[in-house]
Structure 1
Amino acid sequence: MTAPRTKAQIFEFFRLLAEADPDPQTELAFGNTYQLLVAVVLSAQSTDVGVNKATRALFEAVRTPAEMVALGEEGLKAHIRTLGLFNSKAKNVILLSEQLIAEHGGEVPQDRDALTALPGVGRKTANVVMNCAWGQETFAVDTHVFRVCNRTGLARGKTPEAVEALLEKRVPAPFRQGAHHWLILHGRYTCKARAPECWRCPVIGLCGWREKNLSPPKGRAASAP
């Protein structure tokens, strides 16, 4: 079992992930691009499940930057108190909403530099929005993607930026748009941080990690990849 290094091995790595999940999507719930941006900002150090619970009622009332500004920082906090760092997140969401109104006519810009100029929006957030909203071939490197890429050997790097640069070079054309979704979901549900479920991994034959968990815990039957 070796890390996917050649073009053929990397193609097969993503082909197997795609075969297991043909249509990968973000698990964040949203109704428009602005809500997507807000959800991704709120997802920092929070689970998608937690964000979706917090935004369910929020997104029924708030669909635009103007409506968010009208809600206000305290009103927003009332919806997102269950999320980590909710104070700073509320401040940033109100500020970015004001900036969208002042500089972009209330619309979310499609340019990465314009996105990262918004309060609370880093490169990862911008990449997620560009990919999910407009289908651009971006590679958002969160903790799951960073772990999977380093553990398997697909793209080893000491920083998210280094991993992103390698993915940009290595991911083949048929899989570029869905790549970060496959890697996130694989890291979230199979290649977990503490107890990776290698026994049911579809890409185990293309993984360079030496400490594989080849047997499920006692009392748990192994399921097919």
Structure 2
Amino acid sequence: MVVRRDSAVGEQSSGDGKKTGKPVKKVARAKKAAPAKKAAEVAPSAAEAATKTATKAATKAAAKAVAKAPAQESRTALVRRARRINRELAEVYPYAHPELDFENPFQLVVATVLSAQTTDLRVNQTTPALFGKYPTPEDLAAANPEEVEDILRPCGFFRAKTKSVIGLSKALAEDFGGEVPGRLEDLVKLPGVGRKTAFVVLGNAFGRPGITVDTHFQRLVRRWRWTDQTDPDKIEAAVGALFPKSEWTDLSHHVIWHGRRICHARKPACGACPIAPLCPAYGEGETDPEKARKLLKYEKGGFPGQRLKPPQAYLDAGGKPAPPLGAA
């Protein structure tokens, strides 16, 4: 007898067409096949999600790759690139200057001490009342600390700053005849005065070159791969070696102005940056020119002498941002 399977009823039958009554386990096989079918239906969406994830990862990896410094950049190439960046910034910020208001070295050293952990704008709003009441070091040295604290309260850390400005005023009155000294070694002895403050005073009150390593300066020179140092004194030495001493003060202004207006800490405006082709960190921020321009701080308050070019000036022939240095 020939036995065959009847696909319609799921039973075995003999060659003469009679049913054998023995059921075939076809239903069980169908149930086992169902999950495979379901998996096949889900597979395309899972693959699509995986593709999106891979794309995002590749984009982030590309951005990090662009941010790396040019491989094997020689010392000569670094010096040339650094000096060209400074020249470009000098054209963008031809009137860069200290943004603290002052009329004499005493006012400048006090204002610089007060600028720690706050904005220059806030200091400029506070110092008129301070200097109006205490115009000389002798006046401030003899001031009631509580009255000074009330004036300096808007600047933050007002108790510590009150102690510093009264202390440095006493030192000026007792040790320097009420005059701000014009030497680095003397300035750093004053309470609250470090090398950064000293160089601000030397460069802008006495015309003596100095590099001001504030938070903006540190951030930008590391992004530009001028140095990988993190200590302010070592950064000062490393960057100072790239430029003639006569350029140090203006260099500081250019870098600080650029850090405040374009090359921000959290979201730099890469797509509107005039030195994008020279910057190995291009791509860390917004690269779309129009979106980047919305990040520029100067558009809210303006600044004298700005000659920033329109975003189209930084595009290549294809309408894309000019490639950064070292990019393929």
> TM-score, structure 2 length as denominator?
0.64
Answer yes or no: is 1:122 the counterpart of 2:194. Answer: yes
Q: Is the 8 A contact 1:96 1:118 kept in 2?
A: yes
**Pick from 178, 182, 197: which aligns with 2:254?**
182
Question: What is the distance in 2 between the residues matched to 1:123 and 1:221?
Answer: 32
Task: Specify which structure has the bigger relative contact order, considering alpha-carbon pairs within 8 angstroms and separated by 6 or more residues.
Answer: 1
2:276 and 2:282 in contact (8 A); partners too: no
Task: Quote the Cα distance in structure 1 between the aligned partners of 2:231 and 2:295.
Answer: 36
- How far, CA to CA, are the matches of 1:37 and 1:156 in structure 2? 29
Q: 1:136 to 1:218 in 2, by over 3 A?
A: closer
Secondary structure, aligned partner of 1:82: helix
1:224 counterpart residue number: 310
CA contact (8 A) 1:30 1:59 kept: no
**Out of 54, 57, 65, which is 2:126 matched to?**
54
2:164 corresponds in structure 1 to 92
CA distance 1:195–1:75, shift in 2 (3 Å): same
Q: Which has the larger radius of gyration?
A: 2
- On the 8 A contact 1:39/1:51 being kept in 2, the answer is yes
Between the two proteins, the alignment pairs up a number of residues equal to 225
Q: Aligned AA for 1:88?
A: A
Residue 104 of structure 1, aligned match among 160, 176, 187 = 176
Match of 1:157 among 222, 229, 233: 229
Report the equivalent of 2:279: 207
1:22 shift after superposition: 1.3
Structure 1: distance between partners of 2:229 and 2:293: 37
Q: Does 1:72 align with 2:158?
A: no
Compute the displacement of 1:28 (Å). Answer: 0.4
Identical-pair percentage: 37
* Contact 1:38–1:93 (Cα < 8 Å) also in 2: yes
Q: How big is each residue's C-alpha offset from its partner over 1:56-81, in whole Å with a ceiling of 9 and x where there is no partner?
A: 22222322101212333222111110
- Report SS of the residue matched to 1:161: helix
In the alignment, the residues of structure 1 paired with residue 100 and residue 177 of structure 2 have an alpha-carbon distance, to the nearest angstrom, of: 25
Query: Residue 90 of structure 1: SS of its match in structure 2?
Result: helix
| Cα distance in 2, alignment partners of residues 115 and 50 from structure 1 | 24
Contact 1:190 1:196 (8 Å CA) reproduced: yes
Give 1:143 deviation, angstroms.
0.5
Offset at 1:30?
Answer: 1.1
Q: Distance in 1 between matches of 2:242 and 2:80?
A: 11
CA distance in 1, matches of 2:275, 2:293: 24
Scaled by the length of structure 1, what TM-score is found? 0.92
| Amino acid in structure 2 at the alignment position of 1:124 | K
CA distance in 2, matches of 1:23, 1:40: 20
RMSD: 2.2
